[in-house]
Structure 1
Amino acid sequence: MSEHNPELSPEIQALIEKAQNGDAEAQNELGDAYYFGEGVEQNYERAVYWFGKAAEQGEAHAQYSLGYMYRMGQYFEQNDEAAVKLYQQAAEQGHASAQYNLGVLCVRGEGITQSDTKAVKLYRKAAQQGNALAQYELGFMYARGNGIKKNDTEAVKWYRLASDQGNTRALCNLGYMYDFGRGVKQSSKEANKYYRLAAKKGNNRAQLNLAFSYFQGDGVKQSYVRTKALCERILKDPELSFEAYELVDRAGRFEKSKSISTLRELILFHLQVRKNLTMTHYTSFDVGQAILLEKSPFRLGHINAVNDPNEGKLLWQELGYEPEEGNPVFIGCFLPDSDSLNMWRFYSKNHLNDDACGCAITFNTERFFDYRLMAEQGSHTEQEEQMPSFANTGQSPQESAAFYRVVYLKDNFKLLGQGATKLQSYFKDLKKEVDKFVGKNPTPEKLQTLAWLLGPLPYLLKDANYKDEQEHRVIVTHLDYGAKEIKSEDPDFAKGTAPRLYLELHRDDHLAPIEYVTLGPKAPNKEMMAPYWRHQLASKFSAKLDIRPSRCAYK
């Protein structure tokens, strides 16, 4: 297409003439005009042409712009290596945005060898030129001790500089530093000030942190109503909706009965697993293959699909009432032991119900909960590709993001195992508070509310007949039926297949939390399954995973 067009403004025509005469600055400006559609019709092909002309003459911004287009897959096929090469050329000339974006790629190891240390150097160069994004990232690196010695005072300094330019994540993290007294004198009031500033600019993490402050009454008048109101907008955020749902649920429960809700949290805290770094899920071969090779999300099943007829009833019996169904309950079953003959028999079956034929997937407990309940993610431009804002989760148990051990009971509600005496006293107090709550003539509505208040507790108690399982669970109870996070499969009436309800745990890197895989004692073709899976994982995902045979002697 010709650049000459009588309808173009005199300014654009003058710019075209300069560019055609070899003026690198004009060529870059004309590239910008075509890229953004300012004064001319937007045209990436012409933008690339003029950026290329300017870049050949060493124009730093043009080099950066071409690198950005490679990085984002605009006009070109997406190519991180090409982006890195162009960013480096511009960064060496002191271009702040190129230095910042090259730092992002160094942190992620995309198109360049991963190096937090190199990223820190690049962020510092850009930050010293006043680049707010780089100032934020540099503060984050100091706060975490990534690529540089941890230094909260330096973190606060760079967060403050970025905050002065309106960077919302810096505002949020500066609030966090005040919240926990890191690098500054602790002040909930100051923390909330920065959370508010960030929230007003649309930062949902800051809004959620502010909601936590209202829940606890930290620096503000305690208000469950305000907590829930602040969470409303965040419920639509795919990255934070899980935490927001749980906080809304928690605030509602404390609003109904602070005493029952406090005891619930004490019991859950007592049952939460903290020492085990791994938990193992026993499953069939086809499910294991889907989790490993198909980027399949991990699924939590509906409680009604388990095989214990007393599931969820024992606590209700102790309280003296018939079980009520509250919110739907979804569970994942795990074991600290990754090669247990009992578990192979119970849970690792094939489609013919033959036991010990499947596999066991062992997860890292710290990495397990880096998931979303919705498949979609928010869309971000590269200028927003930053490390996350700090969460105010030190003030929340976030009960659905934990592994809990199941407690086994003898007759007369006698608890067995670790901490039984302490737990027995908690449940005794719980019974007293429940009696006060429901009154002498409990209504169905009151008992449904009680089911909601108890949450996952009834599903962490099992009969002593099951104690050999030593089961551990992840439980989600805070979603209502109809919530878009809940997935379903229709029944097949001809085949007699039951309907299913389940939750999916979506991860960007589905293999990240997996430590290793064990093949069951009776796994078919197990001599070849391990090398086959290793080959597939390496081919599809460039991943190496330890896949080992069971050492159990099956009899």
Structure 2
Amino acid sequence: MDKIVESYQEADINFENMELKKLKKYALRGNLRAQNTIGDRYYIGDGVEKNYEEAFRWYKKAADEGYNVAQYNLGDMYYCGFGIEKNYIKAIELFKKAANKGNIEAACNLGCMYEEGDGTKTDYEEAIKWYVKASEQDDFYAQYNLGNMYMYGKGVAQNYQKAFQLHEKSAKQGYMKAQNTLGYLYEEGKGTLRSYENALKWYEEAAYQEYPYAEYNLGGMYYTGKGVEQNLRIAYAWYERSAEHGLEKAQKALSEKF
């Protein structure tokens, strides 16, 4: 009962801006959020020297007591091999614990692991299950990934309409990869009516975030005059920016088109 009362009383405390010495007092009293916050401090080197082993130790304290954010963070350390030997099986175990308590980042990561076969056999249906769980909570990464599952027919019948809807949700939250894909779907008229103007708009949204594929696609719109007056000077500028960001097909376009 004491622990429940303490948790209620400390729910609104701003641990993020608290000095480490005071923060540790709460953590040593068993406050799980304080323990996780100390883990964050050591993980990123906020006010202390970066120390993955110490971050791992504090995350584990909170994770072992069932705190879903710490379970996610600990799973991520196992996934990346930070502070501990890389272990996808342990990562999946921890992500599942966190995801089943509503942690959307953990659910999205599980989707990725099942899609890619990291620490488990590739299982598109299981990937979709976790992507759906996260996307229903408006996670833009999960919406994008789930949209791709529908676009390419992975574990589900190919459905461009569904892919369009999911990419649109993700794109409206500012995710540049989804914005670029939405531009493509508008340009090709897949899952929606073809609209070069809308394609141009979404390519621009992603290109101004310096996403090289969108920069390349925007260059193509200006080169061909789709949805905009043809302008080879602007086309060259976007191809050049894409090339500078490492996209080989943009480098090839510069040499072949100009």
TM-score tier, shorter chain, comes to: 0.7 to 0.9
Give the distance between the partners of 2:196 and 2:98, measured in 1 at CA. Answer: 43
Structure 1 position 243, deviation (Å): 1.0
1:102-155 Cα distance to aligned partner (Å, 9 max, x none): 122222222221222221111111111111110111011111111111111111
1:267-308 Cα distance to aligned partner (Å, 9 max, x none): xxxxxxxxxxxxxxxxxxxxxxxxxxxxxxxxxxxxxxxxxx
The aligned residue for residue 251 of structure 1 is 221
Give the distance between the partners of 1:116 and 1:246, measured in 2 at CA. Answer: 35
Preserved CA contact (<8 Å) 1:192 1:219: yes
1:237 paired to 2:209? yes
Give the distance between the partners of 1:401 and 1:154, measured in 2 at CA. Answer: 39
Greater RCO (Cα-Cα under 8 Å, separation 6 or more): 1
1:66 paired to 2:48? no
1:327 paired to 2:126? no
The aligned residue for residue 457 of structure 1 is 256
Give the distance between the partners of 1:34 and 1:223, measured in 2 at CA. Answer: 49
The aligned residue for residue 9 of structure 1 is none
Structure possessing the higher radius of gyration over alpha carbons: 1
The aligned residue for residue 469 of structure 1 is none
1:109 paired to 2:81? yes
Q: AA paired with 1:456?
A: S
Shift of the 202–182 alpha-carbon distance from structure 1 to 2, 3 Å rule, reads same
Preserved CA contact (<8 Å) 1:91 1:99: yes
Give the distance between the partners of 2:202 and 2:140, measured in 1 at CA. Answer: 17
| Structure 1 alignment gaps of length 5 or more | 1-17, 36-42, 257-325, 332-370, 376-396, 403-453, 459-476, 478-555
Structure 1 position 96, deviation (Å): 0.7
Preserved CA contact (<8 Å) 1:243 1:398: no
Shift of the 133–104 alpha-carbon distance from structure 1 to 2, 3 Å rule, reads same
The aligned residue for residue 18 of structure 2 is 44
Give the distance between the partners of 1:74 and 1:455, measured in 2 at CA. Answer: 44
The aligned residue for residue 121 of structure 2 is 149
* Bigger strand fraction: 1
Question: What TM-score does the superposition give when structure 2 sets the normalisation length?
Answer: 0.83
1:25 paired to 2:10? no
1:174 paired to 2:156? no
Aligned residues: 245
Structure 1 position 26, deviation (Å): 7.1
RMSD over equivalenced CA pairs, Å? 3.0
Preserved CA contact (<8 Å) 1:175 1:195: yes
* Bigger helix fraction: 2
| Structure 2 alignment gaps of length 5 or more | 227-234
Shift of the 455–61 alpha-carbon distance from structure 1 to 2, 3 Å rule, reads closer
Preserved CA contact (<8 Å) 2:15 2:34: no
The aligned residue for residue 226 of structure 1 is 198
Structure 1 position 62, deviation (Å): 1.9
Shift of the 91–456 alpha-carbon distance from structure 1 to 2, 3 Å rule, reads same
The aligned residue for residue 78 of structure 1 is 50
